[in-house]
Amino acid sequence: MTVDQEVGRPRRRKEDARLLTGRTQWTDNLSRPGTLHVMFLRSPMAHARIARIDVSGARGLPGVVAAFSGQDFREEQGSLPCAWPRSGDTVIPEHPPMAVSEVRYVGEAVACVVATDRYRAADALEAIEVDYEQLPAVLDMNEALSESAAKVHETGNRAFTYRTTSGDLEAAFRDAPVVIDRTFVQQRLIPSAMEPRAVLCETDGDTFTMWTSTQIPHILRTMLALVTGVAEHKLRVVAPDVGGGFGSKLQVTAEEVLCLLLARRLGRPVKWTESRSEGNLTVHHGRDQIQHLRLAADSDGRIRGLQVELLADMGAYLVLLTPAVPLLGAQMFNAIYKMDAYEFACTGVFTTKMPTDAYRGAGRPEATFGIERMMDELAAELGLDPLEVRRRNWIRHDEFPFTTISGLTYDSGNYEAATDRAMALFGYDKLRAEQNDRRDRGDPVQLGIGVSTYTEMCGLGPSRWFGSENAGAGGWEHGSVRVLPTGKVEVVTGSSPHGQGHVTAWSQIVADALGVPFEDVTVLHGDTAISPKGLDTYGSRSLTIGGIAVLKACDKVKDKARRLAAHVLECSPDDLEFEAGAFKVRGTESQTTIQELALAAFAAHDLPDGVEARLDSDATFDPDNFSFPHGTHLCAVEVDTETGMVKIRSYVAVDDVGKVVNPLIVDGQLHGGIAQGVAQALFEEAVYDADGNLLTTTMADYLLPSAADLPDFALDRTESPATSNPLGVKGVGEAGTIAATPAVVNAIVDALRPYGINDVRMPCTPERVWRALQDRTLEGARR
Amino acid sequence: MIPAQFDYVRPASLAEACQELGSDEDAKVLAGGQSLLPFLRLRLAYPSKLVDIGRLADLRGVHDRGDHVHIGAMTTHDEVMRSPVVREGCPLLALTAAQVADPAIRHRGTFGGSLAHADPAGDLPAAVLALDGVFVAASASGEREIPAAEFFVDYLESSLRQGEILAGVRIPKLGAGWGFHYEKFHRTAQAWAIVGVAAAVRRSNGSIAEARIALTNMGPTPVRARAVETALQGVELGDQVRQACVEAAADTSPPADLHAQPDYRRHLAKVLTDRAVRAAAGAP
């Protein structure tokens, strides 16, 4: 090649100049003539019957155009959808977007005011009268499953029980020399996208346009049509600039449905933008599991069997993917390890809290945390180095492709190489020596080293698999490529970005495929009127599926161009070679460029038979397997035993995400991902009080780390190309978050193990660490 | 931000501002807005009127007045932390202001606003208390001096009266031989102090001659750790310092919240006071 390859270059993102200088189109920046503003009155009770609701006090106040309660939408609001009841026994309760007769979590909408501005709408909310008859809050998952528990729904508090077994678990545990039995708590988290949710909906009386801060404009359009009866072809959904989601905008929200209904009823544009506190209450929450794990091993550390028993908090209702999220762990707890038997069981439990759903990693961080904590516990039990125990159990480089005990086939990987590189970067042996020295000296600041050798199934996913697992849709993605008459290239992707950098990465792929300059490619997305089909962005799927769809569309464009080039150059298509954006007749100087061909196709003065005008094409890609990124993360923490404060001293991540399209974007994803994983380990927790009130409604109480709270991350990569797609890419959106949480907690427990401590509940706050240390000495015995 | 409705005035003089406040008991002073605006946003406060003192230039700036430093109420945290006069005359305030929240807040938030808000979790109240600052309250009838020990009355309550505005604070200069430290214990850089310790220590011949200690977030107001101040007198720098700090939490009533229970705060007060004193004294 004479032209530098674009794929692999650390291109600065095309998106950033505009985003960083505020020339943005967040939904809240948008307005239509005559826009009205809606605000929702939300339940202050965790569980109650609505005995009386009177919105008349709000009507007639200055600026108020309308006020409604759930009763007013009873006939038309439908039920919010759950699209993936993976377990056959799943109970999906009715879920009205606005509560009609009963509220089941604090924050559930019970009424709304539509006014000429947000201030008047907010003032008028205070004039709405609601009489609640309190019902018992249901907060604890174990209690919720007892016979005598109060019920969240008539059908009871069990949403489903799912179980899958491989191998002979009983044999694996029978006479096992080592059995590790632990219970871990995955606390409830609040996804905190930088841009709060916002919706703007307008109608001309016949068609509807909705701008919304969503990850899923295409899925949302279909779902809104199904829920409200608005015909799908009369509804356009636009995701303008979207400022992060982390799964929280992979949802069909009550507010989106209600804004559509309000626009229909009032015939005027309606807009809603949440406050941060409103978002903390009502953006779907993440995680929230109690994990009971049992692991049987031989005395040399070889794993015989693993048994996983989960309780997963659904919250009050099943929203889009609620019951499927914990089950994404079903094939992940066995991780990179070989074993003879495996059982995974999960019971979904209803409580009177905000529903849970996907949050960065969705089920896989929970699984990775569980198994990686267990591997450290196994190492401690046997007195082995935690990396050595992993080495004795992981799939060796020469064993790929490898079908795991849970039935997935990992196509490629090299755990040895990633681990060796990470240990070298980390200075593993030196830090272990320092740890021993601090222990010997009884230093009040102890050092801990945490390991996480993770993998994940991502690039969701093969449509056949989704079908076999009872999902409402498949996992393909769509892309179109058109070479414009002037030779510039317009790409349309069905994958809807919200910060990932699709425009840059897709430009690099197209530049290489068509031999055009990076600057000559633009990428359109996020609007159902522009991008006719797509399955949007989540599950680290954009590059591995959406990027490949674009690549396949480029291949089709090239095929078309080749036929046209052969016609122009008066040769056989087989005599042409494509290089640096031009078709050349082999062995001659004769050639024509893709830009010349685009113009010729547009003019259409002399097209060969069967070649249509315009140099364009589209493609849909459906992968035949997931992709399996992996890596080794090593974390060193200093634990101040006098105060309980944990400080991350160093963090090394060596990841294998296959081929890298843009190393800057990959590093950015890892920085953000690791920060979010660290945040679960140390900072974040949604806390409800005994009455079911959310206490963490502001960022003063729901702590997020900033750059000042994080160390420099030392990043490196190994490269085992994926075999399931032609670029060899694996996806990186969730890797950092999945890997980091167990690395940090393992490091804290490693520091405290000489005190006889083998777990600290997340987030590992200074107070929790300090309390764990009370009455303990460095020798581990309780005083 | 969607606050409830309020009136807004921006007086051109201190006298006019005092008059606006004196005539309306539900009026509130708007200085940098870093505490008041969150209260409005959450509808925890419903003031009838905001009296914006942002244009009162006389209230802004740091002045060397010989035996004391005068800090105008509208001086921002950033100006306080960078002021050569503060760094020379009362360095504890520069050290403390530098630990308030983050740069954005330090450029907006004001020294006087932080003190008048009287939040015991704020960093500056303890530092000014440790330095025995004198608060200057302006009103239609003139100026009134309030010693720091009398300024903080209760949680979010100062001894300012209706119609009074905090104009500035006089910080007496301490002589040679003093060292300073503010030890802030918080979970993230932007989070409130779980406990904070402001320490001023005078060394003499390897011992502590005099110490002034005030605690952040150990009760409804910032509190002086008098028992520790007494115990530290004459103590040699070394292991004895820790022993002298064991009474740091005496006579405190620390709050319980999501970040810490009272017993943990009492424990932290001891450990952090020891650290603050040793750091102020320049001892390891």
pLDDT tens digit sequence for A515-534 = 999 999 999 999 999 998 99
The per-residue pLDDT for A673 is 97
What Rg, from alpha-carbon coordinates, does chain A have?
Answer: 28
- Looking at chain B, which residues constitute the CATH 3.30.390.50 domain(s)? 179-280
- Take residue A256 and report the two structure tokens written for it: 């989106």
The per-residue pLDDT for A778 is 81
Query: How far is Cα B277 from Cα B265, in angstroms, rounded to an integer?
Result: 18
3-state secondary structure of A309: strand
Q: Is the pLDDT of residue A780 over 70?
A: no
B39 in reach of chain A (CB within 8 A): no
B205 in reach of chain A (CB within 8 A): no
B136 in reach of chain A (CB within 8 A): no
Q: What is the mean predicted confidence (pLDDT) over B183-209?
A: 96
Delimit the domains of chain A by residue range.
461-621
**What's phi and psi for A197, nearest 5 deg?**
-70, 150
Q: At the top level of CATH, which class does the domain B57-171 belong to?
A: alpha beta
Confidence of residue A779 (pLDDT cuts 50, 70, 90): confident
Minimum CA–CA partner of B102 in chain A: A708
The pLDDT tens digits for A343-390 are 999 999 999 999 999 999 999 999 999 999 999 999 999 999 999 999
Percent of chain A with pLDDT over 90: 98
**What's phi and psi for B52, nearest 5 deg?**
-85, 115
Mutate to test the interface with A, among B258, B273, B275 (most CBs of A within 10 A): B258
- Element containing residue A423 per DSSP (H, E): helix A415-426
A569 CB neighbour count, 10 Å cutoff: 18
Residues B259, A683: C-beta atoms closer than 8 Å:
no
The per-residue pLDDT for B284 is 72
Confidence of residue B238 (pLDDT cuts 50, 70, 90): confident
Residues A706, B260: C-beta atoms closer than 8 Å:
no
Q: Which of B188, B264, B271 sits opposite A683 (nearest CB)?
A: B188
Confidence of residue A2 (pLDDT cuts 50, 70, 90): very low
Q: What is the mean predicted confidence (pLDDT) over A558-571?
A: 97
Confidence of residue A783 (pLDDT cuts 50, 70, 90): very low
B153 in reach of chain A (CB within 8 A): no
A474 CB neighbour count, 10 Å cutoff: 15
Q: Which amino acid is at A117?
A: D
In terms of Cα–Cα distance, which of A246, A327, A310, A311 is closest to A284?
A: A246
Q: Is the pLDDT of residue A394 over 60?
A: yes
The pLDDT tens digits for A153-202 are 999 999 999 999 999 999 999 999 999 999 999 999 999 999 999 999 99
Residues B41, A275: C-beta atoms closer than 8 Å:
yes
Report how far apart, in Å, the C-alpha atoms of A684 and of each of A191, A231, A634, B258 are.
10, 41, 21, 12
Residues A701, B194: C-beta atoms closer than 8 Å:
no
Q: Is the pLDDT of residue A256 over 80?
A: yes
Q: Is the pLDDT of residue B128 over 60?
A: yes
Residues A709, B5: C-beta atoms closer than 8 Å:
no
Query: How far is Cα B173 from Cα B168, in angstroms, rounded to an integer?
Result: 16
Q: Which of A275, A687, A706 sits opposite B189 (nearest CB)?
A: A706
Question: What residues in A contact B187, CB-CB < 8 Å?
Answer: 682-683, 703, 765-766
Mutate to test the interface with A, among B44, B185, B264 (most CBs of A within 10 A): B264
Question: What residues in B contact A271, CB-CB < 8 Å?
Answer: none
3-state secondary structure of B9: strand
Query: How far is Cα A203 from Cα B61, in angstroms, rounded to an integer?
Result: 55
- Take residue A43 and report the two structure tokens written for it: 């339940």
Per residue, what are the HEC states of B117-132?
Answer: CCCCCCCHHHHHHHCC
B176 in reach of chain A (CB within 8 A): no
In terms of Cα–Cα distance, which of A490, A515, A506 is closest to A544?
A: A506
CATH 3.30.365.10 given to domain A461-621: yes
Q: Which residue has the tokens 């529903």?
A: A355
Q: Is the pLDDT of residue A1 over 50?
A: no
B256 in reach of chain A (CB within 8 A): no
Residues contacting A685, CB < 8 A, separation 6+: A187, A188, A189, A696, A702, A762, A763
CATH architecture observed for domain B7-52: 2-Layer Sandwich (3.30)
Question: What residues in B contact A766, CB-CB < 8 Å?
Answer: 185, 187, 194
The pLDDT tens digits for A590-635 are 999 999 999 999 999 999 999 999 999 999 999 999 999 999 999 9
Q: Which fold has domain B179-280?
A: Enolase-like; domain 1 (3.30.390)
Q: Is the pLDDT of residue A56 over 50?
A: yes
Q: Which residue has the tokens 């709408």?
A: A121
The per-residue pLDDT for A3 is 55
Question: What residues in B contact A770, CB-CB < 8 Å?
Answer: 264, 267
The pLDDT tens digits for A464-496 are 999 999 999 999 999 999 999 999 999 999 999
B239 in reach of chain A (CB within 8 A): no
**What's phi and psi for B223, nearest 5 deg?**
-130, 145
The per-residue pLDDT for B222 is 98
- Looking at chain B, which residues constitute the CATH 3.30.465.10 domain(s)? 57-171
The pLDDT tens digits for B130-185 are 999 999 999 999 999 999 999 999 999 999 999 999 999 999 999 889 999 999 99
HSE, side-chain direction, 13 A CA sphere, residue A708: 11
Which residues lie across from A237 on neighbouring strands? A210
Confidence of residue B83 (pLDDT cuts 50, 70, 90): very high
3-state secondary structure of A351: coil
The pLDDT tens digits for A259-304 are 999 999 999 999 999 999 999 999 999 999 999 999 999 999 999 9
Q: What's chain A's average pLDDT? A: 97
Question: What residues in B contact A709, CB-CB < 8 Å?
Answer: 188-189
3-state secondary structure of A44: coil
Q: Which of A3-12, A735-744, A754-763 is the least confident region?
A: A3-12
> Distance from B252 to chain A by nearest Cα, in Å?
19
Q: Are strands A445-455 and A630-640 parallel, antiparallel or unpaired?
A: antiparallel
Percent of chain A with pLDDT over 70: 99
Q: Is the pLDDT of residue A331 over 50?
A: yes
> Distance from B191 to chain A by nearest Cα, in Å?
6
Q: Which amino acid is at B57?
A: A
Q: Is the pLDDT of residue A145 over 50?
A: yes
The per-residue pLDDT for A674 is 98
Peptide bond connecting A763 to the previous residue in cis, omega within 30 degrees of 0: yes
